[in-house]
């Protein structure tokens, strides 16, 4: 390590996000992880970690990379040309304690920034050790990402780190949020603030805290008007893949169908034909059939894909076709967003989705919105 080299910590939670595509809404706990694997879940964190590191390669000669052993970052960093310092011993299975111990050792060795791949649960583990001692940044790989410590995608995370290490970004305190996973799986959103960590401040590349829709009379009336319009436009024998959210749930309410608030449901001929489905079930039902996707952006963040609806995977989107995506959002929600965002984990698909997209904002009213 040369005197001018800057030390960056890098920790990967290898199981983060595995529950998303199979509809489990998280992977906290060994039993849930076993269930996710049994349902066919595949790791997504390693690919996003590699994407982040590949975009960080322009500064590889000026950065000493401290990585968690084996699955916790070392495997992804090997062969990319970084000066590596490996922390700990590789394990076949990792835990929250491994994350905390690795972070603690990195603090002792004097990292200038600590980057982690995971979701809100991983952010809480990092918070327990780091607090406000050094700047952190999350590469989003989890299912639940309500916290404001995450970049919008791996490439953005790399850009933030490069700009921060070159002295071009200030720091700010950002919220670490998490939800009760058990309640989440039962359709109840119970989120709370756990604390703050220092994050390099780049507002266009950092996601905001997830915001719940206000239950005002105007908001409820707007949701109903959107739902009525969508129902009127539903075509016979077409399968509608309806994502999570209060605005999409209103469609089910007006059809007297019990749509899950936080899951993905399949409708056909104005009836639910499969509830709270994962990627595999969606693909089974739509193959050889006409299908459309209905989603609403996450309040305060703007994501239409890649946050909380990973069941609608790149494979599902490609099968349905980009032209068959319907985005709905109340006027109040849209006013609070600068743009829509996508982070499917498939860079080619993300590029295809970017541009402009119509958003249904009221009964027979649409608004063009930029997608980033």
Per-block average pLDDT, block size 10, for the chain (372 residues)? 80 79 56 60 84 93 95 93 93 92 96 95 95 96 84 94 93 86 52 90 85 79 96 98 95 95 94 95 96 94 92 97 97 93 94 97 96 94
Report the Cα–Cα distance between both ends of the chain, in Å, rounded: 38
Among 154, 170, 200, residue at a domain's last position: 200
Residue 272 to residues 255, 268, 277: CA-CA distances in angstroms? 9, 6, 11
Structural domain of 121: 6-200
pLDDT attached to residue 92? 87
Q: Tell me whether residue 10 is in a domain.
A: yes
Q: Which two tokens stand for residue 342?
A: 């996508």
Q: Tell me whether residue 114 is in a domain.
A: yes
Q: How far apart are CA 343 and CA 348, in angstroms?
A: 11
pLDDT attached to residue 42? 75
Q: Tell me whether residue 207 is in a domain.
A: no
Verify that 356 and 247 share a domain, yes or no: yes
Verify that 181 and 277 share a domain, yes or no: no
141-173 tens-digit pLDDT: 877 678 899 999 999 999 999 999 999 899 999
Q: Which two tokens stand for residue 233?
A: 């436009």
Among 165, 200, 235, residue at a domain's last position: 200
pLDDT attached to residue 29? 54
Q: Which two tokens stand for residue 363?
A: 């009964």
Residue 188 to residues 17, 61, 216, 270, 273: CA-CA distances in angstroms? 19, 47, 19, 25, 22
Asked if 316 and 353 touch (Cβ cutoff 8 Å), the reply is no
Verify that 193 and 242 share a domain, yes or no: no
Q: Tell me whether residue 175 is in a domain.
A: yes
Verify that 186 and 37 share a domain, yes or no: yes
Backbone CA torsion sign across 95, 99, 104, 108:
positive
Name 326's bridge partners. 294
3-class secondary structure, 191: strand
Verify that 221 and 190 share a domain, yes or no: no
Domains: count for the chain: 2
Predicted TM-score (pTM) of the model is: 0.79
Verify that 129 and 265 share a domain, yes or no: no
Q: How far apart are CA 308 and CA 263, in angstroms?
A: 8
Verify that 222 and 260 share a domain, yes or no: yes
Interior/surface letters 297-323, b for 16+ CB within 10 angstroms, e for the rest:
bbbbbbbbbbbbbbbbbbbbbebbeee
Verify that 135 and 274 share a domain, yes or no: no
Q: Which two tokens stand for residue 261?
A: 């608030």
Q: Is 66 left (phi over 0), alpha (psi -120 to 50) or beta?
A: beta
Which class for 31: exposed (0-12), middle (13-18), buried (19 or more C-beta within 10 A)?
A: exposed
Instruction: For strands 303-305 and 291-295, give the pairing.
Output: unpaired
Instruction: For strands 63-68 and 6-12, give the pairing.
Output: parallel
pLDDT attached to residue 185? 47
Q: Which two tokens stand for residue 191?
A: 């989120």
Verify that 341 and 222 share a domain, yes or no: yes
Verify that 42 and 85 share a domain, yes or no: yes
Alpha helices, DSSP H, located in the chain: 30-38, 45-56, 74-77, 96-109, 120-130, 154-165, 181-185, 217-233, 246-254, 279-286, 314-320, 331-335, 347-353
Kindly write down the DSSP assignment for every residue of 21-59, as one continuous string: TTT-S---SHHHHHHHHHTT----HHHHHHHHHHHHGGG
Q: Tell me whether residue 208 is in a domain.
A: no
3-state helix, strand, coil in the chain (%, to 5): 35, 25, 40
Verify that 174 and 225 share a domain, yes or no: no
Q: Tell me whether residue 149 is in a domain.
A: yes
Q: How far apart are CA 96 and CA 178, in angstroms?
A: 15
CB count, 10 Å around CB of 238? Answer: 15
Domain of residue 36, CATH code: 3.40.50
Verify that 257 and 341 share a domain, yes or no: yes
Q: Tell me whether residue 212 is in a domain.
A: no
Q: Tell me whether residue 210 is in a domain.
A: no
Among 200, 232, 255, residue at a domain's last position: 200
Q: How far apart are CA 371 and CA 139, in angstroms?
A: 20
Asked if 229 and 254 touch (Cβ cutoff 8 Å), the reply is no
């Amino acid at each position: 390590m040369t005197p001018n080299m800057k030390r960056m910590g890098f920790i990967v939670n290898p199981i983060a996000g595995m529950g998303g595509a199979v509809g489990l809404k998280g992977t906290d706990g060994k039993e849930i992880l076993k269930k996710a694997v049994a349902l066919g879940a595949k790791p997504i964190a390693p690919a996003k970690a590699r994407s982040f590191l590949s975009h960080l390669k322009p500064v590889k000669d000026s950065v000493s990379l401290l990585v968690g052993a084996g699955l916790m970052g070392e495997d992804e960093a090997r062969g990319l040309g970084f000066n590596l310092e490996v922390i700990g011993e590789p394990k076949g299975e990792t835990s929250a304690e491994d994350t905390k111990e690795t972070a603690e050792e990195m603090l002792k060795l004097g990292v200038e920034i600590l980057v982690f791949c995971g979701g809100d649960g991983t952010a809480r583990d990092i918070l327990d050790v780091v607090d406000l001692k050094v700047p952190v940044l999350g590469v989003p790989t989890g299912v639940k990402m309500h916290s404001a410590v995450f970049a919008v995608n791996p490439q953005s995370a790399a850009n933030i780190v490069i700009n921060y290490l070159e002295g071009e970004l200030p720091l700010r305190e950002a919220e670490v949020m998490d939800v009760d996973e058990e309640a989440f799986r039962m359709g109840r959103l119970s989120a709370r603030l756990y604390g703050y960590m220092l994050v390099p401040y780049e507002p266009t590349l950092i996601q905001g805290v997830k915001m719940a829709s206000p239950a005002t009379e105007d908001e409820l009336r707007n949701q109903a008007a959107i739902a009525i319009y969508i129902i009127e436009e539903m075509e016979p024998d077409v399968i509608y893949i309806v994502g999570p959210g209060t605005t999409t749930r209103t469609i089910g309410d007006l059809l007297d169908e019990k749509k899950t608030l936080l899951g993905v449901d399949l409708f056909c001929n104005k009836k639910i034909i499969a509830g709270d489905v994962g990627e595999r079930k969606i693909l089974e039902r739509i193959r050889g059939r006409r299908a459309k996707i209905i989603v609403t952006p996450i309040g305060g963040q703007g994501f239409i894909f890649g946050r909380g609806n990973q069941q609608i995977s790149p494979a599902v989107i490609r099968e349905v076709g980009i032209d068959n995506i319907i985005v709905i959002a109340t006027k109040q929600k849209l006013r609070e967003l600068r743009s829509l965002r996508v982070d499917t984990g498939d860079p080619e698909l993300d590029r295809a989705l970017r541009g402009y997209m119509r958003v249904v904002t009221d009964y027979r009213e649409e608004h063009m919105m930029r997608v980033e």
